[in-house]
Chain A
Amino acid sequence: MAQRSGPGQAALPRRGEMRRKNVRIAYLTILPVIVILLAVKAYPIIATIYRSFTNWNGLYQNDFVGLANYKEFFGSGLFMVLFKNNLVLLLSVPLQVIIGLIVAVLLYEHVPGWKAFRAIYYIPQIISLVILGYLFKSMFSLDGPVNQVLESLGLGHLAKEWLADGSTALPIMVGCITWYSIGWQTIVILGGMSSIDPCVFEAARLDGANFFQRTFKIVLPMITSVITYCIVMAVVWTFTSLFSLIYSMTGGGPGYETMTLDYMIYEKSFVTGSQLGMACTISVVLFVIIMIITAAEMKLSNMAEKKWG
């Protein structure tokens, strides 16, 4: 019941006024953050979309060219080459999530030496991707340790210039990314597993569930949202953050055999005569691809959660 102010009583604001005041304060409170987000996130995105329809060269050449950049990018066949490379590198995502899950369950169950293993598995994560790239480049060079080991095992005929061919360089990159990311996946999954009641594990063990049954039939369904997060982050990271690794390992070559969409944004911007309009076009394409894949993953995850959860 609404209070009414009578004679001699201090006038109290009515509920509606209070609500409006609270709403005003709430908006004012978040206003600075909204302004900052609009300035540093929304403006660059809108500007990039606009520039993708221009022949911007980084300076004053900024003519509207309609869909010409998109037609050129998709028509030249370059998109398919780069996208195919991105898809191959995405193979690291299931590998890193599955291995991360297995390692996380092993650590959760306190296998002997689990504390040391927890640190060891995380070590690659703290190495710079540039260093990692050079490390793998040396390992797989013609005179590198991998070929030397093959030769010492009498398998010299298998020795080759691994990074000179996309068909071998890309799988090596997949291995490198997987090795690098297992630690992060393990830590995140371990965090998610902390919400599982230990009694569930105990009961499963008493019922005779083996390690893989416990991992894939108990843990996996109970942390679907964490796994979704791991997959989405790994996919986005694979699409947008491999530049330094590729730069140091192969430079995107030979040709475009190991180049990805995000690497091509750099190429068009800074290497091939400042085709920044085209670089914006590729950025928009990459943005759309990530949005579609992420949305699909979320949808699948919701379906899985409904089914199991």
Chain B
Amino acid sequence: MKSRRFFLKALIAVGALPFAPPAWRRLRELRVRSLGGGFHEVEGWILTDADLEMLRNHVS
């Protein structure tokens, strides 16, 4: 019973894989709104130029 449940979960996970964009793709698709003065709004976060650079380096 346990192995059957595991198999079903794995099947669902593999099947969903093409629809789950990897982290780097999600980050690149995020809308960055410039606030001026070296600040940006990304998904509600108020970030600096350095924050954005750090994120880009992290996912590239």
Task: Report if A and B associate in a common complex.
Answer: no
Chain A interfacial positions (CB closer than 8 Å to B): none
Chain B interfacial positions (CB closer than 8 Å to A): none
